[in-house]
A and B are shown apart, each in its own frame.
Chain A
Amino acid sequence: MSMPVIELREVSRRYDGGPPALDGVSLTIRAGEAVAILGPSGSGKSTLLNLVAGLDRPSSGEVTVDGVRVDRLGEAGSARFRRAKIGMVFQFFNLLDDLTVADNVMLPAQLAGMARAAAQRRAGELLSTLGINRHARAYPGRLSGGERQRVAVARALMNRPALLLADEPTGALDTASGEDVGQLLNELHADGQTIVLVTHDLVLAESCATRTVQLVDGRVAADTAAEPVR
């Protein structure tokens, strides 16, 4: 059995004294898994993703990612943690419109201190692999939704993260583009990338995930706890 990449122990998150967005969630995700987090709006999916990425802190409980206690990190520490361990793909791509595709992809590596030339090489490889190298000097605004999400994936993979987090990666795409992105995630998983996918899209979850976790009202309602992929 492979090593756990994510370990959540009794994790709760409350906002401003309201009902818990997450309520005592415990979850372990191992290396190489592709896990889809499913649930209705307000079930706590994005909150869980934010806690794993170190974008937010739990009100109680422990969040450990690749051996790092994320819930104990400060702002600077969590930034460095994300650089090293996490790649993120968002529903609305979150590409920086004033940077070229190549510059967007290179950014995480450059923030980590990688020299521009080395970052360019790595970005070139990724863009080639993802089939969008011809757009390297273009600006995101000129690309289709599917192409933008490929750029976002390339950017997420730039620092060779232990974990790829995808928050509704097909939510803003048409059907064809959504299928394209699903295929891309499958390929990445096939190459051994651990993926946590938050989605409403059951088709995407079935096609990409080896395990599904159902959240309802901040609790784990169901977990297929699939056999480890490898």
Chain B
Amino acid sequence: MSALGKVVRSGVGRRRVQTVVIGLVVMIAVTAAVLGGSLMVASHAPFDRAFDQQQGAHLTAQFDAGKTTAAQLSASAHATGVTAAAGPFQTAVITPATNRGGPEGPIMVVGRADPGGSVDAVTLTKGRWVTGRGEIVLQTDLRLPQVFQPKPGDVLRLPDLPGSPTLTVVGTARSVSETAGGWVVPEQASTLTAAGAVGGYQMLYRFATAGTTAQVDADRAAVQASVPSGALAGTRSWLTTRINAGGNTVLFVPFLIAFGVLGVAMAILIIGNVIAGAVSTGTHRIGILKALGFTPDQVVRAYTVQALIPAVAGAALGVLAGNVLIVPILSQTNEVYGTNDSGVSPWVNVVVVAGALALVAATDWAAASRAGRLRTVEVLAVGRTPGPGRGHWAARLAARLPLPRPVTLGLAHPFARVLRSATIIAAIAFGAAAATFAVGLGSSLNQVQATESHGEVVVVSGKPESGPPPGGGPQVAAGPPPAPDPAAVVAAITAQSGTSGYSGVASTDVTAAGVTDPLEALAFTGDNSAYGYRMVSGTWFTKPGEIVVAAPFLTATHTKVGDTIVLTDHSTQITVRIVGEVFNIENRGMQILTAAATFAAAEPDLRAREYNISLKPGTDAASYVSGLNAALSAVDATAMTVEHDSDELILIINALTTLLTLMLVTVAALGVLNMVVLETRERVHDLGVHKALGMTPRQTVAMVIASVVVTGLIGGAIGAPIGVLLQRTIIGEMGRSVGFNLPASVINIYHAAELVLFGLGGLCIAVIGALLPAGWAARTRTATALRTE
């Protein structure tokens, strides 16, 4: 083995702690970078990627079956500009009722034998594709609450069709192009058209150029020209779908990108920190090598290879861990974005590993080059106990503190090597900032979700089905029940022990000046309408004629809090005043919240269909519901507890937060460990002197731990506020990017006491990092330490 090889081998073997630290740090950093990079890739233009993955339809065209034939439509696939087409598929519009409430309203059903094809390759999310009559696959609709998401096994009854036939949901699927609300086998589609109604056909087209509205319009004109006049009943451009889809997912994109950036940034900073520290540890050894005749180039090569050996091992393990951990996360981003990402993109793995190793090599090269360029005597002088004059003021000051002497000795250590202490502070500050940021991000997301809760108990219209029907068939409902008698429901609620407050919620459609589409208005009765809503500015409504809206409404109507606006309800114009801006993501922020009496003139019969109830502290919700249902026995209404289960995305983001936080804290602690090992090694002779003078192992541990207290506290004090600042800035920007102003409860999630805790977290990181070298220092034999020079 060459001399260089021996130096590398001994460097790796003898500096085991450092070798392990480099390996671990690179592993964790690469894992974080793979996770972060994959999240960034997954969150980059998710609609466009999903559209490409599914070969989405640039134009979804609906044809009147009475004015064209399937053959003519097949021929339209050769229209100018068409590069691929699917169809014709027979269509029908059904209005089902389910055994679980929604979905309500008409659904367009398409007869398709299989989900694949050259256009609109539909992705099955649950269950299987239809294989025969009586089966349906429903489009996954993320806008619906989890409880209303269709599930395999649900049964749709079609009361509008003769004999009220049923369709069993055998699967759910996602078409990014939103070409249908459901799919049945082709032979079923024709049976779903009501008697006397004319059926339809659907064609799906992809075009050579469809990037702009004008191009899609031209493509549509070409298709229209290829079929009989009047046959084209309607079209939907992929550009329209893309705009609408953005609203569904865009709220999550900044969150996930923030996590991604956090992972990558952590990887870069920590690798740089640890490697620079590792070379610094070996500076004295470099001096010896140079004294023995090693050239600066040989020194640089030896130290670069020495760091790369554990780094390569760490990178390999990190890639493996990242690829395993990303699987459940990608399944969730697929759910949210409609994408089909199955794993880490190969280029992410390559870039991350290459980047990490390049970073290790570059940092090592820079640090070793610096040491290599120094004159040998200077290098030999480096890495010894700090010379006189450094940090003496701190030592004198610490000596006066009324603390045990080993503690005051340790407290003064950081001031003897200010640059190294700054590096430790940087590692701790970064760990504290990242942990504060990550936890804050997760908490904010939870707060966003909390705004969707408006009570612990809800009373809804209708009674639950009682037991299976004769013959054991599936349960079916008869359709949406009418709104219950408000007086009876309110009387039952107010009489029930444990009621803290309630609000009755009626819904109606109105139009507002400046907005073309109808808007949903929620009309409240009761004393607790504001429950769960978070105000951004202004106040909750207190009387009829006052409304509360979200930022998108204000933007769309060019109004602000304090302005008046005219609403039209059933042709009656109502002038209302906007008294507050609320954070409300329902209907993309276009929902209007007001007192029911606002619509008294326009809709005197408007009745609440739902009652949200908040309970007094200590009230058992289940018992309450049981009692209330007994009281409602004569009313066509049912009370039930509100499930506050987080949806899976929130859970996965929380898990990701925890994982990243643990990784950040671990890596920061490893950074501290590396530095304290270095510090302890350099002070080993002094340590021997202390022990010779009677310092016990416990006192030695106390001294080493105390040596990181100051740096830990400073790092925490710097890191925690930075983390909060980052969290507030990014959360605020995230809301603004989707047109919302976020309420203080979502942005300002940290209280002063919690901030202090996160600041102290820096101290914990430092202490954890110092424990191992402290134990090593305590175990070092005094005679050995005294011999060390």
Q: Are B694 and A83 in contact (CB under 8 A)?
A: yes
Which of B111-119, B219-227, B390-398, B663-671 contacts the other chain?
Answer: B390-398
Known contacts A110-B405, A139-B388; A79/B399 CB under 8 A: no
Q: A98 at interface (Cβ–Cβ under 8 A)?
A: yes
- What residue in chain A is nearest B787 (Cβ atoms)? A46
Q: A145 to nearest B CB, angstroms?
A: 15
Q: CB < 8 Å: which of A50, A56, A108 contacts B694?
A: A108
Q: Are A96 and B416 in contact (CB under 8 A)?
A: no
Q: B759 to nearest A CB, angstroms?
A: 28
Known contacts A103-B399, A111-B405, A111-B406; A55/B693 CB under 8 A: no
Residues of B within 8 A of A79 (CB): 691, 694-697, 699
Interface of A is mostly: helix
Residue-by-residue, is A39-77 near B (CB-CB < 8 Å gives 1, otherwise 0)? Answer: 000000000001001011000000000000000000110
Known contacts A56-B783, A111-B695; A98/B405 CB under 8 A: no
Q: A112 at interface (Cβ–Cβ under 8 A)?
A: yes
Q: What's the Cα separation between A83 and B782 when bound, in Å?
A: 14
Q: A150 at interface (Cβ–Cβ under 8 A)?
A: no
Q: Are A112 and B694 in contact (CB under 8 A)?
A: yes
Range for the number of chain A residues in contact with chain B: 20 to 34
Q: B778 at interface (Cβ–Cβ under 8 A)?
A: yes
Q: B316 at interface (Cβ–Cβ under 8 A)?
A: no
Q: A80 at interface (Cβ–Cβ under 8 A)?
A: yes
- What residue in chain B is nearest A51 (Cβ atoms)? B783
Q: What's the Cα separation between A55 and B396 when bound, in Å?
A: 29
Q: What's the Cα separation between A151 and B2 when bound, in Å?
A: 49
Known contacts A50-B783, A97-B388; A82/B416 CB under 8 A: no
Q: CB < 8 Å: which of A100, A103, A108, A142 contacts B693?
A: A108
Range for the number of chain B residues in contact with chain A: 35 or more
Q: Are B779 and A107 in contact (CB under 8 A)?
A: no
Q: B636 at interface (Cβ–Cβ under 8 A)?
A: no
Q: Are A96 and B686 in contact (CB under 8 A)?
A: yes
Q: A25 at interface (Cβ–Cβ under 8 A)?
A: no
Residues of B within 8 A of A90 (CB): 786
Q: CB < 8 Å: which of B696, B699, B779, B781 contacts A56?
A: B781
Q: B434 to nearest A CB, angstroms?
A: 34
Known contacts A76-B697, A103-B399; A98/B391 CB under 8 A: yes
Residue-by-residue, is A172-187 near B (CB-CB < 8 Å gives 1, otherwise 0)? Answer: 0000000000000000
Interface residues of B in 525-584 (CB under 8 A from A): none
Q: A94 at interface (Cβ–Cβ under 8 A)?
A: yes
Q: A45 to nearest B CB, angstroms?
A: 13
Q: A99 at interface (Cβ–Cβ under 8 A)?
A: yes
- What residue in chain A is nearest B685 (Cβ atoms)? A94
Known contacts A98-B412, A98-B416, A111-B699; A80/B694 CB under 8 A: yes
Q: B386 at interface (Cβ–Cβ under 8 A)?
A: yes
Q: What's the Cα separation between A173 and B778 when bound, in Å?
A: 32
Residues of A within 8 A of B698 (CB): 76
Q: A189 at interface (Cβ–Cβ under 8 A)?
A: no
Q: A89 to nearest B CB, angstroms?
A: 11
Residues of A within 8 A of B396 (CB): 100, 103
Q: A219 at interface (Cβ–Cβ under 8 A)?
A: no
Q: What's the Cα separation between A83 and B405 when bound, in Å?
A: 14
Q: Are B395 and A99 in contact (CB under 8 A)?
A: yes
Q: What's the Cα separation between A98 and B690 when bound, in Å?
A: 13
- What residue in chain A is nearest B400 (Cβ atoms)? A116
Q: What's the Cα separation between A103 and B696 when bound, in Å?
A: 18
Q: What's the Cα separation between A95 and B686 when bound, in Å?
A: 8
Q: What's the Cα separation between A108 and B689 when bound, in Å?
A: 10
Interface of B is mostly: helix
Q: What's the Cα separation between A76 and B385 when bound, in Å?
A: 25
Q: A141 at interface (Cβ–Cβ under 8 A)?
A: yes
Q: A101 at interface (Cβ–Cβ under 8 A)?
A: no
Q: B776 to nearest A CB, angstroms?
A: 13
Q: A88 at interface (Cβ–Cβ under 8 A)?
A: yes
Q: What's the Cα separation between A116 and B398 when bound, in Å?
A: 12
Q: B734 to nearest A CB, angstroms?
A: 49
- What residue in chain A is nearest B694 (Cβ atoms)? A83
Residues of B within 8 A of A94 (CB): 685, 688-689, 692, 786
Residues of B within 8 A of A112 (CB): 694
Residues of A within 8 A of B346 (CB): none
Q: Are A53 and B689 in contact (CB under 8 A)?
A: no
Q: B780 to nearest A CB, angstroms?
A: 9
Q: Are A75 and B696 in contact (CB under 8 A)?
A: yes
- What residue in chain B is nearest A137 (Cβ atoms)? B396
Q: Are B386 and A82 in contact (CB under 8 A)?
A: no
Q: A155 at interface (Cβ–Cβ under 8 A)?
A: yes
Q: What's the Cα separation between A83 and B692 when bound, in Å?
A: 8
Known contacts A75-B697, A98-B416, A142-B388; A107/B405 CB under 8 A: yes
- What residue in chain B is nearest A49 (Cβ atoms)? B783
Q: B387 at interface (Cβ–Cβ under 8 A)?
A: yes
Q: A96 to nearest B CB, angstroms?
A: 6
Residues of B within 8 A of A50 (CB): 783
Q: What's the Cα separation between A99 and B416 when bound, in Å?
A: 11
- What residue in chain A is nearest B399 (Cβ atoms)? A103
Residues of A within 8 A of B685 (CB): 94
Interface residues of A in 7-53 (CB under 8 A from B): 50, 53
Residues of B within 8 A of A78 (CB): 782
- What residue in chain A is nearest B789 (Cβ atoms)? A92
Residues of B within 8 A of A88 (CB): 692-693
Residues of B within 8 A of A55 (CB): 691-692, 781-783, 786
Interface residues of B in 695-727 (CB under 8 A from A): 695-699
Among the interface residues A79, A98, A110, A159, which one has the most CB atoms of the partner chain B within 10 A? A98
Residues of B within 8 A of A111 (CB): 405-406, 690, 693-696, 699
Q: B533 to nearest A CB, angstroms?
A: 61
Q: Are B693 and A82 in contact (CB under 8 A)?
A: yes
Q: What's the Cα separation between A116 and B406 when bound, in Å?
A: 13
Q: What's the Cα separation between A55 and B696 when bound, in Å?
A: 12
- What residue in chain B is nearest A111 (Cβ atoms)? B694
Q: A64 to nearest B CB, angstroms?
A: 19
Interface residues of A in 96-145 (CB under 8 A from B): 96-100, 103, 107-108, 110-112, 116, 139-142
- Besides the contacts A107-B690, A139-B388, what 8 more A-B pairs have beta carbons closer than 8 Å? A56-B781, A79-B699, A82-B693, A84-B694, A96-B690, A110-B405, A139-B389, A141-B387
On A, residues with C-beta under 8 Å from B are: 50, 53, 55-56, 75-76, 78-80, 82-84, 88, 90, 94-100, 103, 107-108, 110-112, 116, 139-142, 155, 159
Closest 4 CB pairs of A and B: A83-B694, A110-B405, A141-B388, A79-B696
Can you give 24 contacting A-B residue pairs, CB < 8 Å? A53-B692, A55-B781, A55-B786, A56-B782, A75-B778, A76-B697, A76-B698, A82-B694, A83-B693, A83-B694, A94-B688, A94-B786, A95-B689, A96-B689, A97-B386, A97-B387, A98-B412, A107-B405, A107-B690, A111-B694, A111-B695, A116-B400, A139-B388, A140-B388
